[in-house]
Structure 1
């Protein structure tokens, strides 16, 4: 989860990653870890049943939504996004989602859960074309952990309605259901102002990296070669435009379960190392843990996020 600028750019040059770049890249490298992605899965064409004579006409393939940078943010060392939950109201204080390992002050320890910690961190808000739309400021870390998942939620000092009025920017919708294997996705980095497109390759029972273990992680197809600074990027389902995960890590050099080299562990304890493959943490669980007013409530009956 840590990468220098030289290492990041060298890895990017060697990877041949498929990406879309808008605007100039930051001159400063991210100091935290990142991960990667690219190539869309084709949608199978279903046959329409027919009655009587004539051949069945194939159903038209759904058009993917144009994924833009609107609502994404750049942190000092990571990426993120303003996210709106299914039950969030326009008058609610907005939430910014990123990784737990992107917190100011260092990584949360295994088993550590941060709730309602004051913060004045600032985020550069991007418009659809990756232009700087303005700045929003956190009032607190509403939730953060690196246990079972790798996520942070910041509450900011403006509502969704105020952000739309002041900056002309809408939030990204946070999906309430888990994605499926084969889902075409885009990893949208506000830090680098780049998109990495690929598909969900599958899910990992346990993903282990150094001292941390994450559960039911998303594994990308090889095309998603994300880099340092993309950590915390929203992973967007290109068919719906909704966020289904948060980008967090990848195996950089083929190491086994070490920092920057996560390994996969199945239900039987078998360890698999996939050099160059990158991962994200699902985000649908968050929607079960936020109550009215966008307040994190870990006591809700369906909430499975780790608790302090």
Structure 2
């Protein structure tokens, strides 16, 4: 899971230097001008994004999406689901160039789980209209369909202010890491070599739509341990791909929302329920 380790936390003391170094690292290609840091946020331990359904009114409460394992209360247990839990967590909203633009604050965790997927969705104490009016920032639109293998993607980390460029290599039937199992995960090609702190980064398609959320990678070549997820196919065969990184799809979230509200009773909603 891509929360920052000790070295990453120490590195925040030299954030500007490291961010510059990271952007010029030879393994990550520069993002096109169409995709920048617009709509992204930085958390204390992860990355995230301001997100919205296309059909949601801009006058409604704004939402921020990050990983379930980035929840401020710690890792959620397998099978655990949080709905409408009070929160006052803060987020740093970034400008298109990656500078700190504003501080946003949550009123609640609208939904969170580490079962089948790895997401925490926060509801804020302000609206999309207010954010746009005050800071000139619009949310990322949540795509409503399953992503496609081969799609060019950008993984945009607000924590490190770094953009990774690669393609969707394919999809993993089951991705197992420690006690957790995720379904139909996105596998990246090698140039998205994400690191600690990139957890929760939005995965954007060439049109800038949100199609997934970055969450983990196999660091040491271990089998199915924390920070070393393994792939399990439909026949139960287990494979390990050291250095390979993964994300979780977000179209399922769109299927469980009405406007800015999570509705787990909505017809076709496939997210885990409490």
| TM-score of the aligned structures, taking structure 1 as reference length | 0.81
Deviations 1:260-302 (A, max 9, x none): 000000000000100000000000111111113x111000001
What is the rounded CA distance, in whole Å, between the counterparts of 1:133 and 1:39 in structure 2?
A: 25
| TM-score of the aligned structures, taking structure 2 as reference length | 0.91
Paired residues of 1:38 and 1:199 also in contact (CA < 8 A): no
Paired residues of 1:217 and 1:282 also in contact (CA < 8 A): yes
Q: Give 1:24-173 correspondences, 5 Å limit.
A: 24-25=17-18, 38=28, 66-173=34-141
> Displacement of 1:204 after TM fit?
0.2
Paired residues of 2:168 and 2:188 also in contact (CA < 8 A): yes
1:285 aligned counterpart, secondary structure? helix
- What residue in structure 1 maps to residue 161 of structure 2? 193
Max Rg structure: 1
Q: Please, what is the CA RMSD of the aligned residues? A: 2.0
Paired residues of 2:264 and 2:273 also in contact (CA < 8 A): yes
Moved over 2 A (4+): 1-10, 22-26, 37-40
- What residue in structure 1 maps to residue 24 of structure 2? none
Deviations 1:197-224 (A, max 9, x none): 0000000000000000000000000111
What is the rounded CA distance, in whole Å, between the counterparts of 2:211 and 2:9 in structure 1?
A: 25
Does 1:4 find its partner at 2:38? no
Any gaps of 5 or more consecutive residues in structure 1? 11-21, 27-36, 41-63
What is the rounded CA distance, in whole Å, between the counterparts of 1:115 and 1:259 in structure 2?
A: 25
What is the rounded CA distance, in whole Å, between the counterparts of 1:7 and 1:169 in structure 2?
A: 28
2:252 aligned counterpart, secondary structure? helix
Question: Aligned in 2, Cα 1:7/1:172: closer, same or farther, shift over 3 Å?
Answer: closer
> Displacement of 1:25 after TM fit?
4.2
1:187 aligned counterpart, secondary structure? strand
What is the rounded CA distance, in whole Å, between the counterparts of 1:69 and 1:190 in structure 2?
A: 7
Question: Aligned in 2, Cα 1:273/1:8: closer, same or farther, shift over 3 Å?
Answer: farther
Paired residues of 2:8 and 2:197 also in contact (CA < 8 A): no
Q: Larger deviation: 166-175 or 223-232?
A: 166-175
